Amino acid sequence: MTQPVLHIISHTDLDGVAAAALAWHCAQSGGKLVKVSLTGYGDVDELIINTLRLGDEPLVLDLFCQREQTIDEIDRTWDNSRQPFLFDHHRSTFERYANRGWACVDVSYCGALVYWRWLAQNYPTGIVREVLKKLEPLVRIANDRDLWLGELPDSRLWQGLLSLCGHWSAFTRLAVNPSADLTREERRGAEEYVERQESRFAAAKKLVVRSGDDLAFLRDGVLEFGDVSDFCGLILDREPCQPLVAAVSAKRMGGDWAVSLRSRDGFAGRVMALLKDGKKVRGGGHGDASALYFPRGYTEDQIRESILAAIKVQKERDESPSVTLGDLFKGLV
């Protein structure tokens, strides 16, 4: 094929969906062939590698790869005379890859706004400018939500709509209608969802198990799918005593455990890296939004103690780099 396909690879949260919608409308205005993948951190490496090997154009928004082999492949094949293909805002990405020619990373904004601002600087006139004008209200809403600014009330409703309907439904809506104005039905559904969510959050806060300032742990059966990021953000950003890590466990259909970890300053990702072994305990994600998967034989108390042991080791590592993984295993025993 003489015309490469633009492969938009973005995250599944509101920021990622908004970024993907912005990219899709810009590509459509330019008559490009477009493929869209909304994904998580577990699959992004494979998607990037496959796109490069097919000779297609990757456009990665609001998340990035987890394996150094992927970086090596990008560095080996990417022509730095081309425009950047990665637009992200996570601090871990900034610290590691901000100097690469293929990356545009700015921690001051959400991923969608990082991409919007780059487009505005590089396409000051023409049809792309019209797309930017049309999508700006949505991008600002995503920025308000992702950075927890609380300045735009509809950002909570858009997040609720995404949780209620799913990321593909939200993307489809924005592809058909990019307006940030919620319809009467969308607003009513989102408001009802948020009201129910607030009730769940009030009950969940009473059941959180706190371990000092290290960990806030919530057991299975309290929250619903789509609640975790909002609830952990509430614990991490709005509580008087904010923990290093907020964790929510969920028993999966197969009997094993999925544990969502949230933090600020990348601490959850470091805890995840300490505990995952790729065999019994698996893990993935990035600095402030990670997940661990424990076998069905674990109890929630054992999971909580494992996370606490890893937090202790990571704190000691931060103070003294000489702490080893052996110290962690002693703590688990």
Residue 110 domain-assigned (yes or no):
yes
Residue 170 domain-assigned (yes or no):
yes
Residue 278 domain-assigned (yes or no):
yes
- Check which CATH number belongs to the domain holding 327 and give it: 3.10.310.40
Query: Tens place of pLDDT for every residue, the chain, 333 residues?
Result: 567 899 999 999 899 999 999 999 999 998 999 999 998 776 888 999 999 999 999 999 998 887 888 999 999 989 888 999 999 987 768 878 889 999 999 989 999 999 999 999 999 889 999 999 999 999 999 999 888 788 999 999 999 999 899 999 999 999 999 999 999 999 999 999 999 998 999 999 999 999 999 999 999 988 887 788 888 888 987 788 889 999 999 998 888 898 999 987 778 888 998 998 767 888 776 677 788 889 999 999 999 999 999 999 999 888 875 555 566 555 554
> What predicted TM-score, i.e. pTM, was given to this entire model?
0.78
**Domain C-terminal end among 153, 186, 219:** 186
181 and 215 co-located in one domain = no
223 and 170 co-located in one domain = no
214 and 79 co-located in one domain = no
How many residues in total does the chain contain?
333
Residue 194 domain-assigned (yes or no):
no
**What is the distance between the alpha carbons of residues 177 and 78, in angstroms, rounded to a whole number?**
34
Amino acid at position 311, single letter: I
**Domain C-terminal end among 151, 186, 221:** 186
Segments forming the whole domain that contains residue 33: 6-186
- Check which CATH number belongs to the domain holding 169 and give it: 3.90.1640
238 and 137 co-located in one domain = no
When divided into structural domains, the chain yields a total of: 2
Residue 84 domain-assigned (yes or no):
yes
Residue 193 domain-assigned (yes or no):
no
33 and 153 co-located in one domain = yes
Helix 14-29 vs helix 154-165: angle between axes, to the nearest 10 degrees? 90
167 and 222 co-located in one domain = no
Which residues 6+ apart lie within 8 Å of 252 measured at CB?
258
β-partners of residue 24 are none
